[in-house]
RNA sequence: UGCCCAAUGGUGUAAUGGUAGCACUACGGUUUUUGGUGCCGUCUGCGUAGGUUCGAAUCCUGCUUGGGCAACCA
């Protein structure tokens, strides 16, 4: 279980503090049991990572267990494809569940419980339309009115409930409702629907059931059946908690109500600026082809971050830093970036890549001569070793690293100025050659043979160091430069505003907010050391950023994704 | 005009009645064969009005602002 990002804490968040307190008091027989309860209706995103780190992380830290439970009570939205992807992503994040459960495993028990409630006069079958039921529900400021079916005989409800599950009742014709209180200020207590008819086959139980429990009648009960002690979820479920407790009190038949039961505690879900986190909207992006798939590196899904080059530990570290509170925060994406930079800085092998190439010719270097230069793999890690790179008179350098007329603080290649070629020689720029349109097509320089790296002559102070590649000793590669998908800080709110003002479809609102520069594909060059690079391997392209080998990459066609740029103080000066 | 929850630098998060701290960001400086990293430093904060107390970010009340709740979704 990952512990690398769990730095010594001077204080615990309110959820962990409660765990410590409960354990100290010997609650639940001293057990700690949690669960991660995804609905298999989409891919996991970084918001889920926040829940995963809590559910699995605290269980592990305090000797408890965390089970995986798929909340699969709505077959119209759920699919096996999502079940498999969710499991893969949890493992990738670095966690292992105890049991793999499904809410659908409890359908028989839930059914029996519902029957019991009917027999006790605490539930009834309502035959009104959803519109009628909604109208009778009242509003937050006005109490609801009771359904005409509310006090029908128990036997009648029992018979109809059985019928609901037989396949002969059409969807929407009947529901089972808990009989609680139509005037309760908590809307969820106004005779909530606990079972409805769904005819779509279920991905696990097929056509065995036609009556399916609603969330409020499945989630807490599943927790109870499994022996969950701490049930953590996000803030929007605060208003559900009284109902959660109500049904568990019923299951416990009024006995031992204060102990040996699951308790729900809510925390703030993750909001990230310049990021949209809602499975419904992410699904639209995929279906409309705005992105290439759920694992498009611009997606905030875990598989998207993986393909982008984020490491599991960087995501865990980020989650650890943002904390858990009851305040609805908007977190800065820069914090996530700092986490991945911190991680990759320590681990990624440094290589040379010229993303936007321009020719550099060393005019006084013997033609045909080739020298092998030594490169440190990672200056942060002496154990990482070295590798070799070929040097010659015909080079590529970054187009950005030459300016014919440069400002004073420009330390790179400009006529008359010395610059160090990383791991090779100090060279002096002598000029450039342009095409008919005036574009620079080649830069010329002379090298100083005494300044080869490692020789005493190399100790000379030179302001700038640039990277390079030998044109006859490098590989071409496709480099995908990713940037944020959204131009606005809070796409969720901006979308809502556009939809309200223009009355347009979600996808149209989205298109107005997308960053047109979220992906730039470059025809670049990388050093031959990368010929064997494997998918998902991380590298630092020196002076540029961290990159990850895309799964599409093959030895004949290398593809790299930019995970994140290096911090660039020149870019700031240059603005 | 109901019920519930919240509010600490630009962002996020600590301090649990006793010196408002940390991280990110921003901006300086320093080191550096990555304008990276490291190191040092600077700026900016308890929503508001009362009350309790020797003492309040913390407890109480009002106000303000924000969020959630009226799916046969979870």
Q: What is the ipTM of this complex?
A: 0.96
Residue A198: count of CB within 10 angstroms of its CB: 16
Q: Nearest-CA neighbor of A524 among A570, A546, A557, A488?
A: A557
Q: Which residue is nearest to nucleotide B26 (CA to C1')?
A: A572
* Distance in angstroms: CA A379, C1' B38: 11
Q: Is the CB of A497 under 7 A from strand B?
A: no
pLDDT at A574: 76
Rounded percentage of chain A residues whose pLDDT exceeds 70: 98
Q: What is the pLDDT of residue A555?
A: 93
CB A524 within 8 A of CB A476: yes
- Which bases on strand B have an atom closer than 7 Å to a protein beta carbon? 1-8, 10-16, 23-27, 33-38, 66-74
Specify whether the CB–CB gap between A15 and A232 falls below 8 A. yes
Alpha helices for A294-424 (secondary structure H): 302-308, 312-322, 333-347
For residue A11, what pLDDT is reported? 84
pLDDT at A7 over 90: no
| Average pLDDT in chain A | 96
Question: For residues A222 and A244, is the Cβ–Cβ distance under 8 A?
Answer: no
For the ranges A353-357, A459-463, A526-530, the lowest mean pLDDT is seen at: A459-463
Q: What pLDDT was estimated at residue A4?
A: 41
CA–C1' A36–B18 (A): 41
Residue A86 has what pLDDT? 98
CA of A304 to C1' of B40 (A): 38
Q: Tell me the two tokens of residue A202.
A: 């279920």
Chain A window 91-150: residues with CB closer than 7 Å to nucleic chain B are: 128-130, 133-134, 137-141
The residue-averaged pLDDT of A218-246 equals 97
Q: What is the structure's pLDDT at A500?
A: 87
Global pTM reads 0.95
């Amino acid at each position: 279980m990952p512990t690398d990002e769990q730095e010594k804490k001077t204080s615990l968040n309110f959820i962990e503090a409660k765990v410590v307190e409960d354990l100290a008091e010997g609650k639940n027989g001293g057990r700690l049991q949690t669960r991660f309860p995804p609905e298999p209706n989409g891919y996991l995103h970084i918001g889920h990572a926040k829940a995963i780190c809590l559910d699995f992380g605290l269980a592990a830290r305090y000797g408890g267990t965390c089970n995986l439970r798929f909340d699969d009570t709505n077959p119209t939205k759920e699919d096996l494809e999502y079940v498999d992807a969710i499991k893969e992503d949890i493992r990738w994040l670095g966690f292992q569940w105890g049991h793999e459960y499904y809410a659908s495993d409890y359908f028989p028990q839930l059914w029996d419980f519902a029957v019991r409630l009917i027999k006790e006069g605490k539930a009834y079958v309502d035959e009104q339309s959803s519109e009628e039921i909604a109208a009778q529900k009242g509003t937050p400021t006005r109490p609801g009115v009771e359904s005409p079916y509310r006090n029908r005989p128990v036997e009648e409800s029992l018979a109809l409930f059985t019928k609901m599950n037989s396949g002969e009742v059409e969807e929407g014709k009947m529901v089972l409702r808990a009989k609680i209180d139509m005037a309760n200020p908590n809307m969820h207590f106004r005779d909530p629907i606990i079972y409805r008819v769904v005819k779509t086959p279920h991905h696990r139980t097929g056509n065995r059931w036609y009556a399916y429990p609603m969330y409020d009648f499945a989630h807490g009960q599943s927790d109870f059946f499994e022996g969950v002690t701490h049930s953590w979820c996000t803030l929007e479920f605060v208003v559900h908690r009284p109902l959660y407790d109500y049904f568990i009190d019923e299951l416990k038949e009024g006995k031992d109500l204060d102990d040996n039961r699951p308790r729900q505690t809510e925390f703030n879900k993750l909001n990230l600026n310049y990021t949209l986190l809602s499975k419904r909207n992410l699904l639209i992006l995929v279906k409309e082809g705005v992105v290439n798939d759920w694992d498009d590196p611009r997606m905030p899904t875990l598989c998207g971050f993986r393909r982008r080059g984020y490491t599991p530990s960087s995501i865990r570290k980020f989650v650890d830093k943002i904390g858990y509170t009851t305040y609805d925060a908007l977190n800065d994406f820069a914090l996530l970036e700092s986490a991945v930079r911190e991680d990759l800085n320590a681990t990624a092998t440094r290589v040379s890549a010229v993303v936007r190439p321009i020719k550099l010719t060393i005019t006084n270097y013997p033609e045909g001569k080739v020298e092998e230069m030594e490169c440190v793999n990672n200056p942060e890690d002496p154990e990482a070793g070295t590798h070799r790179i070929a040097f010659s008179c015909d080079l590529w350098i970054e187009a950005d690293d030459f300016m014919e007329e440069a400002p004073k603080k420009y330390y790179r290649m400009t006529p008359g100025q010395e610059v160090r070629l990383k791991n090779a020689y100090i060279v002096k720029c002598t000029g450039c050659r342009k095409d008919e349109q005036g574009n620079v097509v080649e830069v010329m320089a002379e090298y100083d043979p005494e300044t080869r790296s490692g020789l005493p002559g190399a100790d000379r102070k030179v302001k700038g160091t640039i990277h390079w590649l030998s044109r006859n000793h490098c590989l071409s590669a496709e480099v995908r430069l990713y940037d944020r998908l959204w131009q606005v800080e809070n796409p969720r709110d901006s979308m809502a505003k556009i939809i309200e003002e223009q009355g347009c479809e979600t996808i149209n609102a989205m298109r107005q907010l997308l960053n047109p520069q979220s992906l730039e594909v470059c025809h670049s060059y990388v050093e031959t050391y990368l010929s064997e690079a494997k998918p998902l391997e991380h590298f630092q392209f020196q002076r540029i950023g961290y990159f990850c080998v895309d799964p599409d990459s093959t030895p004949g066609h290398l593809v790299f994704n930019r995970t994140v740029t290096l911090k660039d103080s020149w870019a700031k000066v240059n603005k």
